[in-house]
Amino acid sequence: MDGTLLRSDKSLGPPVITAVRRLMASGVEVALISARPPSGMLWLANELGLSHAMAAFNGGTLVGQDGAILAVSRLPLQVATRAWDSLERPAIVRWLFSAGRWYTQSADGHHADRERVTTRQEPCVRSDFSDLLAEADKIVAVSDDPSALDDLESELTQTLGKEATVMRSQSYYLDITALDANKGHGVMALAARANIDLANVAVIGDQCNDLPMFAKAGLSIAMGQAPGAVRAAADCVTLSNDDDGLATAINDVLFPLIEPPRRTRGPA
């Protein structure tokens, strides 16, 4: 969604709306997968007229179009507690998503303001989180210091990598989710629900947390503004999100694959 379906100002471009609806009208299933909680996804699915299940929290929660939770994969309590405690550092703001709700120690700052828009939630501010960690959907380390998050990501990958998924969803967000709460597993679950072979699945994304689904799908497309490692891992690259690159990918890459070429009549 963010950086792919939506522009940088979080708006949905008319070319993207037209392309997605045209794709669905051709019989192609369209599904959303995002680091967002369900509350930040349902409104957009309704606006586009999507009917398929979607995957929230990097694939950890499957949600029906009516908002019903279909499946959940959360961090084990001991892992969530270790992760939460390890983020208590001066350069890091900690967020916790527990049972779909957003909790934080402080609701101030531009990242919190942005998250209000993306999640369609007001954060619950509190100082004690111990009773919430048993239902941890996602723990987020927030920082405008990329080097601090780089170091933290490397450290947590070493200490938690066999028990959790540790991956950037934005340059300023480091997400910690259950081991199978990643977009690779999420795409597999969505494809299985639609009875579609992964070879016939196309995915498009812009961040490192999209790499697991790039590795599973038959076709992977990176957004033009994606980091170099993400673009290098994709089968092809489209324009940026602010240039409505998703619409370009649908029109120029996907439709030629699903629509037979028109035959031109030669001279009589």
Structural domain harbouring 231: 14-72+182-258
Is residue 83 domain-shared with residue 56, that is, in the same domain?
Answer: no
pLDDT recorded at residue 265: 52
- Cβ neighbours, 10 Å, residue 166: 25
Domain boundary among 178, 195, 214: 178
pLDDT by position in tens, the chain (length 268): 999 999 999 999 999 999 999 999 999 999 999 999 999 999 999 999 999 999 999 999 999 989 999 999 999 999 999 999 999 998 899 999 999 999 998 888 999 999 999 999 999 999 999 999 999 999 999 999 989 999 999 999 999 989 999 999 999 999 999 999 999 999 999 999 999 999 999 999 999 999 999 999 999 999 999 999 999 999 999 999 999 999 999 999 999 998 765 555 544 3
> Is residue 63 domain-shared with residue 112, that is, in the same domain?
no
49 and 93 in one domain?
Answer: no
Looking at residue 261, its pLDDT comes to 55
Closest by CA to 12, choosing from 45, 37, 38, 58, is 45
Judge whether 237 lies within some domain.
yes
pLDDT, position 91: 85
Q: Which two tokens stand for residue 75?
A: 């961090």
DSSP-derived letter for residue 43 is H
Question: pTM, whole model, 2 decimals?
Answer: 0.91
- The reported pLDDT for the residue numbered 57 is 97
Residues 32 and 86 in one domain: no
Q: What pLDDT, on a 0 to 100 scale, did the predictor assign at position 161? A: 85
> Are 134 and 174 within one domain?
yes
Residue that is last in its domain, among 119, 143, 178 = 178
To the nearest 10°, report the CA torsion of 116, 118, 3, 96: 80
Task: Say if residue 84 is in the same domain as residue 137.
Answer: yes
Task: Choose the final residue of a domain: 178, 203, 226.
Answer: 178
Asked if residue 186 and residue 64 are part of one domain, the reply reads yes
CB-side neighbour CA atoms (13 Å) of 205 = 31
Contacts of residue 166, Cβ cutoff 8 Å, sequence gap at least 6? 153, 156, 157, 160, 174, 175, 176
Q: How is the chain split among helix, strand and coil, in percent rounded to 5?
A: 40, 20, 40
Residues 6+ apart with CB under 8 A from 267: none
3-state secondary structure of 213: helix
